[in-house]
């Protein structure tokens, strides 16, 4: 009977007296700080989402013509997308970008997986100087070497005529990604216990088998992140493709879409917005699709390490 009375009393107790968290209730100053925090975050979200909203609205607005105008008049239409597919080389730009991005990601992951493992697990002559050199190379802007890139392409293409400017662009992207991501993967592999390597060697594994069977499965989440970064890079870069690629049929998406707004005589900002929307959608979907796998893989890797 006393137990029933106690339970009834707990149910009738005012909710304000119940506090399930270990933290103390917010004071007036804490509530004010929390209010301004949410206010700043809301303003920041608005500044990000408003241009995106205008881009999406203009892409589907049939009343928009050569320029994007802030107007309340709206008529749903796909004519800007039709212009993009029928009057431009959009599909060619997509194909070029996917080729460059895919090749960059494959080369980067293949080389970084080896260099990161080597710098993490081996102590060889010249290790520190080469790491320092890689770090210093990262401080030099890529565009600063544009003359060297042109010269290198001229030399190589004179020997191998099949060496195109797109291949040169792949090597530039891959070189920059390899240098930076070597440090990233090295730091990740450093966190993996060397006892796993010792156990594998006791079981008779060679260094290559240890790398392939032990280290790489654990480092797979970081390799996935590196591949994703390397793949997205060519989609976002405009300057190098615009300078190195001279033919519109060889442009990437960023350089190709710029032609829609570069000349006022052929200006078509709504079609540019439609192209930007189509470019962003697959990247966002790819990132969201891999995000859960990345988080899950990182958690598993930390347990294994």
The domain spans of the chain are 88-304
How many helices (H) does the chain have, and how many strands (E)?
13, 0
Distance CA 299, CA 281 (A): 28
Name the one residue in this structure whose structure tokens are 């960059």.
Answer: 104
State both tokens at 286: 């790819």
Tokens of 130: 């080469």
* Confidence at residue 100, expressed as pLDDT on a 0 to 100 scale: 93
**Chain-wide mean pLDDT for the chain?**
81
List, in order, residues 6 or more apart from 279 with CB less than 8 Å away: 235, 253, 257
**88-304 in CATH: which number?**
1.10.3720.10
Determine the Cα–Cα distance for residues 299 and 277; give it in Å rounded to an integer. 33
Confidence of residue 91 (pLDDT cuts 50, 70, 90): very high
Residue 261, classed as helix, strand or coil, is helix
**The pTM is what?**
0.79
Per the structure block, which two tokens stand in for 303? 């347990």
> Could you report the per-residue pLDDT of 137-164, keeping only the tens digit for each?
777 777 777 777 878 878 888 888 788 8
Residue 241 · residue 75 · CB < 8 Å: no
Residue 228 has pLDDT above 90, yes or no: no
CA distance 37 to 80: 40
Question: For 108-114, what is the mean pLDDT?
Answer: 91
Angle between helices 28-59 and 79-87 (to 10 degrees): 60
Helix (H) or strand (E) holding 22, with range, is none
């Amino acid at each position: 009977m006393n137990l029933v009375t106690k339970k009834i009393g707990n149910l009738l107790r005012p909710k304000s007296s119940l506090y399930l968290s270990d933290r103390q209730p917010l004071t007036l100053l804490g509530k004010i700080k929390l209010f301004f925090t949410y206010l700043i975050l809301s303003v920041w979200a608005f500044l990000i989402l408003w241009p995106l909203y205008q881009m999406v609205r203009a892409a589907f607005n049939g009343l928009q013509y050569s320029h994007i105008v802030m107007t309340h008049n709206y008529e749903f239409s796909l004519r800007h997308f039709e212009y993009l597919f029928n009057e431009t080389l959009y599909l060619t730009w997509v194909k070029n970008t996917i080729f460059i991005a895919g090749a960059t990601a494959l080369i980067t992951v293949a080389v970084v997986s080896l260099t990161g493992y080597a710098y993490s697990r081996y102590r060889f002559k010249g290790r520190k100087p080469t790491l320092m050199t890689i770090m210093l190379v990262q401080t030099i802007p890529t565009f600063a070497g544009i003359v060297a890139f042109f010269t290198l392409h001229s030399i190589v293409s004179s020997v191998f005529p099949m060496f195109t400017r797109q291949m040169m662009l792949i090597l530039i992207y891959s070189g920059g990604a390899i240098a930076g991501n070597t440090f990233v993967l090295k730091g990740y592999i450093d966190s993996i216990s060397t006892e796993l390597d010792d156990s594998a060697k006791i079981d008779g594994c060679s260094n290559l088998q240890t790398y392939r069977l032990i280290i790489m499965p654990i480092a797979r989440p970081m390799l996935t992140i590196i591949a994703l970064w390397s793949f997205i890079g060519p989609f976002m870069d405009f300057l190098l493709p615009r300078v190195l690629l001279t033919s519109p049929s060889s442009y990437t998406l960023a350089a190709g879409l710029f032609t829609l707004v570069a000349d006022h005589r052929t200006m078509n900002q709504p079609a540019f917005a439609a192209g930007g929307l189509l470019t962003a959608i697959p990247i966002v979907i790819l990132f969201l699709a891999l995000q859960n796998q990345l988080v899950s893989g990182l958690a598993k890797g930390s347990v294994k390490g």
